[in-house]
């Protein structure tokens, strides 16, 4: 098993890249204080897309979706200059923020995430240059269910079929992988404050958290605004222009480039 790719220049070929020590201890402490509030305020049940349909399930901290659309601190984090520098290094200077999701796996209880591609879940998003920042809010390793990727599986941008896992996991669906593919998986072990970016077509997933430590991460999804368009009538949250030019649909996006005020109405 080879080590993780840490060269932005190799992102296109590998389908992911790891950036170490992007946020410092104080910054991560502040994000974790916001996460405590999200978990404290979780409702009893949540509607999640699972097994191919929207379902109401008992609330769990793996399903804290789109906090940036309602809370200023999360939206501000999504345009943190050092995070956007990493995104720009792999997706270019024109960037839209399209989604976000906190996935917090409780100690000894965190759900696995079966092998999947992201793009097949996002029908409102057209284009291939879409990447997810996976920001570690805790130290993440194999024991607490760090994310793993199967490098290069995005090549040619295939749309792989999904089948039911029949298990209690985050998505309820999986792409079937061969033992050879599984053997090639790279665990993205990292310290809190580091992040990886993965292509929306590359296969990735994670094991359950069997350790006595939490494993929380904040995933922020970005796209190249010149080559990717989002149908804002179909999309479930606003799309934010965070850097550069917005392309053909710029007028439909919320302008959140440096210096712009956050939208009103956020908590």
Question: Where does this chain bind ligand AKG (CB under 6 A)?
Answer: 103, 113, 118, 132, 134, 147, 204, 206, 217, 219
Smallest separation (angstroms) from ligand AKG to the CB of 172: 13
Smallest separation (angstroms) from ligand AKG to the CB of 158: 17
If you ran DSSP here, which 8-state letter would residue 51 be given?
T
Task: Let me know: does 157 contact 201? Beta carbons within 8 Å.
Answer: yes
What's the residue count for the chain? 267
Smallest separation (angstroms) from ligand AKG to the CB of 82: 19
Q: Which CB, 206 or 246, lies closer to ligand AKG? A: 206
Smallest separation (angstroms) from ligand AKG to the CB of 71: 19
Task: Let me know: does 28 contact 214? Beta carbons within 8 Å.
Answer: no
**Alpha-carbon span 122 to 142, nearest angstrom:** 28
Which backbone phi and psi does 125 adopt, to 5 degrees?
Answer: -105, 120
Smallest separation (angstroms) from ligand AKG to the CB of 42: 18
Q: Which CB, 31 or 217, lies closer to ligand AKG? A: 217
Task: Let me know: does 248 contact 139? Beta carbons within 8 Å.
Answer: no
Q: Which CB, 65 or 229, lies closer to ligand AKG? A: 65
Largest Cα–Cα separation, the chain = 50
Q: Which CB, 14 or 217, lies closer to ligand AKG? A: 217
User: Up-side HSE of residue 112: CA atoms within 13 Å toward CB?
Assistant: 19
Q: Which CB, 93 or 107, lies closer to ligand AKG? A: 107
- Total Cβ atoms within 10 A of residue 81: 9
Distances 123 to 51, 119, 127, 197, 229 between C-alpha atoms, Å: 16, 8, 10, 21, 11
Smallest separation (angstroms) from ligand AKG to the CB of 180: 21
- Total Cβ atoms within 10 A of residue 193: 20
Q: Which CB, 87 or 147, lies closer to ligand AKG? A: 147
Q: Which CB, 84 or 226, lies closer to ligand AKG? A: 84
Residue nearest to ligand AKG (CB): 206
Smallest separation (angstroms) from ligand AKG to the CB of 251: 29
Residue 25 tokens read as 């201890």
Task: Let me know: does 129 contact 188? Beta carbons within 8 Å.
Answer: no
């Amino acid at each position: 098993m080879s080590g993780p790719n840490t060269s932005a220049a190799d992102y296109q070929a590998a389908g992911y890249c790891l950036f170490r020590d992007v946020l410092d201890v104080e910054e991560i402490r502040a994000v974790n204080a916001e996460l405590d509030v999200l978990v404290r305020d979780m409702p009893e049940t949540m509607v999640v897309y699972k097994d191919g349909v929207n379902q109401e399930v008992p609330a769990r901290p793996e399903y804290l979706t789109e906090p940036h659309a309602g809370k200023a601190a999360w939206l501000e984090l999504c345009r943190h200059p050092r995070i956007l520098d990493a995104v720009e290094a792999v997706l270019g200077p024109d960037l839209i923020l399209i989604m976000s999701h906190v996935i917090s796996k409780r100690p000894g209880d965190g759900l696995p995430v079966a092998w999947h591609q992201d793009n097949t879940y996002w029908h409102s998003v057209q284009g291939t240059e879409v990447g997810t920042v996976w920001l570690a809010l805790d130290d993440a390793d194999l024991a607490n269910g760090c994310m793993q990727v199967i490098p290069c599986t995005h090549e040619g941008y295939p749309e792989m079929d999904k089948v039911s896992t029949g298990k209690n996991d985050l998505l309820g669906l999986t792409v079937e992988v061969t033992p050879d593919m599984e053997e090639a998986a790279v665990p993205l072990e990292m310290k809190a404050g580091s992040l990886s970016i993965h292509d929306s077509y590359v296969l990735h997933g994670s094991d359950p958290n069997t350790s006595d430590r939490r494993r929380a991460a904040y995933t922020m999804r970005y796209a190249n605004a010149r080559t990717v368009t989002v149908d804002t009538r179909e999309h479930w949250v606003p799309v934010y222009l965070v850097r550069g030019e917005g392309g053909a649909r710029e007028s439909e996006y919320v302008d959140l480039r440096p210096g712009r005020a956050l939208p009103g109405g956020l908590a």
